[in-house]
Chains A and B, each alone.
Chain A
Amino acid sequence: MKKRKNKVKLSFANWSLKAVAGVMTVIWLLLLLFPIYWMIITSLSGTGSEYQEKVSFVIDVPLRYTITVDYTEAEAKALGEDGMYLQANSIIWRMHNYQQANVGKTEVIATVEGKQPVSYSLSKANFEINQEKFWTKNILRHEDIQRAIHLIEERNLVQVKEGSLLKEGNSNEFTEEMLADFLEDENLAGTITGCTQTKSYANLFDNYKIAWAYPDKIGIEGGLLKPIMNTLFVAVATISLNITISSTAAYAISKLLPRSLKGKMQLLIMATGMVPPTITLIPKYQVLQNLGFADSLWAIILPACASFGAVLLFKGTFDAYPNEILEAASMDGAGELYLYFRLALPAAKGVVGVQILSIFASTWNEYFWPSMIIRDESKYTVSLIINYLMNIGSANFNVLLALGFLISVPTLLIYALFQKYLTYGIDFSGIKG
């Protein structure tokens, strides 16, 4: 890699230039990082954009709504434990559905004449992940809850805690009235004695939980793990095949072929660089379909296995490798495979590293070609999940951006840790051109 020798140059800048440069660089950097900041605060904030009118520049911490319901002793006896559980669920789910502000958690504290408080709480993640599975309607009635109560109980969606005390917070009279009407309409026992709201920091990461579970909604079992495994499979296969194929080809051109063939082969490979991949997208799709690879991960892997850029990088390293060493080893009876694996390939370690990183990053980023060729949900890669949520599924931006950030973590790490290697290609061409 390049040695930097700029120490001399810096002494030229006068103070006005330095000041302008410093201010501009910092401002631009802040602008550049703003989308990432925006992404993170949105992904941690409460509600979906459908309801949200205001724009907030800091994290809009999800709220926890607490309703206290008081039963008389007779009512409590008549309901029993199960009855109280059912009724608490009725209130929680309805309220979560109705409440259009930033909900993180809804909680019902049931008391019997002011004593024996039991808390039932439902987090936003559990609500969002399961609601559509149980009901498709917007307004939930008591009978709807009754029908799904065994599922709620089975999956342990509502946390029950005994001895919980009412937390202080702002009271919310609007919700209180709404729920009082609800109890009356449905002929439910108990009276609502209060409704308060507090910030619930425990629910900050609920959007991430929803994003992780999102693939379940479109029939992919195991949440985001399956698409991640698919993408990793594509990445590992592409990396190993691409490196093997390009380095052997580069070695052949650099060291094995007679001069007359060398030029022709190189032309044959470089010519493919002239045709932009976008042009051949449609016929490539047809070719893969005819080969029976449509709707298979191999349709993403195979076309990415050969790239003239990788051949160029490897060829550059092999060209610099002294022929004498190869000749000497060959005199000692080493075969060509031995020369390639034991001498040439280790010399190109740097290029191998660069290739691993850049292919991984590009596989992780690739979205258009996979979205064209992959139809089967169980073969979705990570970007296809975002694509689905962005263009087909309902776009709740908080969840969408949480998913986007979650999926960007590996590439962000790579760009942060191995930046030098990723810019290697640029340094390389920078020196040459």
Chain B
Amino acid sequence: MKKQSKKKPLRVWIRSRSGRKCMMGLLFLLPLLSILFVFQYVPIIQCITQSFFQYKVTDLPGRFVGLDNYIAVFSSDLFLTYLSNTIILYLFLILFSFFVPILQSLMLFQMTKTRGFFRYMYIFPTGITALAGLSIWKYIWEPEGGLANFITSHLGLGTHQWLYSEELVKFCLRFPGILGGGMIVVLYLVTMNNISNEQFEAAKIDGANGWQIIRYITFPGLKGMIYIQFLLSLTGSLLAFEDVYMMTQGGPGFSSTTLVLGAYTKAFKEQNFGQAMAQSVVILIFTLLIAGFVNARKSKRED
């Protein structure tokens, strides 16, 4: 198409049908591209440039400081705290929320007549507004009159400060994941539905029982998706901070401040935008590396 247009003069090409179509197409794309430009491209460019400057409101963009911000980020003691907090939160996430939906969907898959109902009920709690869900758990962890202390004191484990305790706060933030449910269960169910019936039938003819079918057919069929979810949870956890911020605001002390939350506090509490941006760029590089790895695995699977 383009070759044709090059032969004709531009004025003629624009009047032709393909020319008009192309012009119309660009016009159709314009709103999307301009919004993406303003709210995606400009911010990311600003993020990268500001990370090389010492931010000053009076004199933008401030003084060029080269890699100083990056050096400051890496040499600060808090960076290690943030990093270890993020990693510990991630490990708790894996422990509590990663295996549960897999198990739930495997069990749900066995229920043939009632699956629709249970699938429905498993997604239902997702309808609770995010902040309302967090406030339920804030109440459960409340040291005075909360449910957690009620249970532990009755089990003879004593009472704890939960969200206000430096040791327990990370556990408390990730523990709710143990309930499972939500869209991820549906995702696994859909994946299991895509396993071909022939495999199940062949196993049946070979005399396999239900447990063996899970072990040798259903679970292996799910493996690829589990692996992708595992890698995605890595990026998700690296970026996690909204729920943490709402529950503890990074406290007590810095004991639940993640990398992103650290950048956020640097920007808005300390007005140190340069370092905040440098930290963001570091996180971005981490996520891009992980995402690249995920995509490589994905395309490998598709081949």
Residues of chain A within 8 A of B28, CB atoms compared: 248-249, 251-252, 256, 340
Contact with A along B118-156 (1 / 0, CB 8 A): 101111111111111111111110101111001000000
Minimum distance in angstroms from B263 CB to a CB of chain A:
7
Q: Is A42 an interface residue (CB 8 A)?
A: yes
Residues of chain B within 8 A of A50, CB atoms compared: 144
A274 and B287 CA atoms in complex are apart in Å by 9
Residues of chain B within 8 A of A36, CB atoms compared: 125, 128
Contact with B along A300-314 (1 / 0, CB 8 A): 001101100001000
Q: Determine whether the beta carbon of A42 is less than 8 Å from that of B121.
A: no
Interface residues of A in 233-250 (CB under 8 A from B): 244-246, 248-249
Q: Determine whether the beta carbon of B194 is less than 8 Å from that of A407.
A: no
Number of interface residues of B (CB under 8 A): 117
Tally A-B pairs: CB < 8 A. 332
Residue of B31, B103, B139, B214 ringed by the most chain A CB atoms within 10 A = B139
Residue of A14, A281, A282, A391 ringed by the most chain B CB atoms within 10 A = A282
Residues of chain B within 8 A of A383, CB atoms compared: 129-131
Main secondary structure on B side of the interface with A: helix
Q: Determine whether the beta carbon of B197 is less than 8 Å from that of A8.
A: yes
The contact of A416 among B44, B124, B228, B235, by CB within 8 Å, is B124
A21 and B218 CA atoms in complex are apart in Å by 14
A280 and B47 CA atoms in complex are apart in Å by 7
The contact of A17 among B17, B123, B127, B214, by CB within 8 Å, is B214
Q: Determine whether the beta carbon of A401 is less than 8 Å from that of B22.
A: no
Interface residues of A in 249-284 (CB under 8 A from B): 249, 251-253, 255-261, 265, 268-269, 272, 274-276, 278-284
Q: Determine whether the beta carbon of B147 is less than 8 Å from that of A55.
A: yes
Write the chain B residue with the least CB distance to A414: B127
Residues of chain B within 8 A of A13, CB atoms compared: 110, 112, 210, 213
Q: Determine whether the beta carbon of B21 is less than 8 Å from that of A256.
A: yes
The contact of B241 among A20, A278, A302, by CB within 8 Å, is A278
Q: Is B107 an interface residue (CB 8 A)?
A: yes
Q: Determine whether the beta carbon of A35 is less than 8 Å from that of B39.
A: no
Identify the stretch in A91-99, A173-181, A201-209, A425-433 within 8 Å (CB) of chain B at 4 or more residues.
A425-433
Main secondary structure on A side of the interface with B: helix
Q: Determine whether the beta carbon of A279 is less than 8 Å from that of B110.
A: no
A253 and B40 CA atoms in complex are apart in Å by 20
The contact of B190 among A2, A20, A279, A408, by CB within 8 Å, is A2
Q: Is B260 an interface residue (CB 8 A)?
A: yes
Q: Determine whether the beta carbon of A283 is less than 8 Å from that of B50.
A: yes
Write the chain A residue with the least CB distance to B38: A287
Write the chain B residue with the least CB distance to A258: B1
Q: Is B179 an interface residue (CB 8 A)?
A: yes
Interface residues of B in 173-195 (CB under 8 A from A): 176, 178-181, 183, 186-187, 190-191, 193-194
Residues of chain A within 8 A of B26, CB atoms compared: 252, 257
Residue of A272, A283, A404, A423 ringed by the most chain B CB atoms within 10 A = A283
Identify the stretch in A26-34, A61-69, A100-108 within 8 Å (CB) of chain B at 4 or more residues.
A26-34
Q: Determine whether the beta carbon of B111 is less than 8 Å from that of A32.
A: no
Q: Is B209 an interface residue (CB 8 A)?
A: yes
Q: Determine whether the beta carbon of A4 is less than 8 Å from that of B193.
A: yes
Known interface pairs A32-B181, A302-B39, A430-B190. Does A415 touch B121 (Cβ–Cβ under 8 Å)? no
Q: Is B46 an interface residue (CB 8 A)?
A: yes
Q: Is B73 an interface residue (CB 8 A)?
A: no
Q: Determine whether the beta carbon of B179 is less than 8 Å from that of A21.
A: no
Q: Determine whether the beta carbon of A17 is less than 8 Å from that of B110.
A: yes
The contact of A39 among B39, B132, B145, by CB within 8 Å, is B132
Q: Determine whether the beta carbon of A6 is less than 8 Å from that of B47.
A: no
A248 and B34 CA atoms in complex are apart in Å by 13
Q: Determine whether the beta carbon of A282 is less than 8 Å from that of B21.
A: no
A430 and B126 CA atoms in complex are apart in Å by 20
Minimum distance in angstroms from B141 CB to a CB of chain A:
11
Residues of chain B within 8 A of A405, CB atoms compared: 132
Q: Is B25 an interface residue (CB 8 A)?
A: yes
> Residues of A with Cβ closer than 8 Å to B?
2, 4-14, 16-18, 20-22, 24-25, 28-29, 31-36, 38-39, 42, 49-50, 52-55, 244-246, 248-249, 251-253, 255-261, 265, 268-269, 272, 274-276, 278-284, 286-287, 291, 302-303, 305-306, 311, 330, 336, 340, 364-365, 367-368, 382-383, 386-387, 390-391, 395, 397, 400-401, 403-405, 407-408, 411-416, 419, 422-423, 426-427, 430-431, 433
The 9 closest A-B pairs by CB, nearest first: A404-B132, A256-B25, A10-B112, A430-B190, A415-B127, A17-B210, A412-B127, A283-B43, A252-B28
List 6 A-B pairs, Cβ < 8 Å: A8-B200, A248-B31, A265-B33, A274-B291, A306-B32, A430-B194
Task: Give 7 A-B pairs besides A24-B107, A280-B40 with Cβ atoms closer than 8 angstroms.
Answer: A10-B110, A21-B106, A49-B142, A245-B35, A248-B29, A287-B39, A386-B135
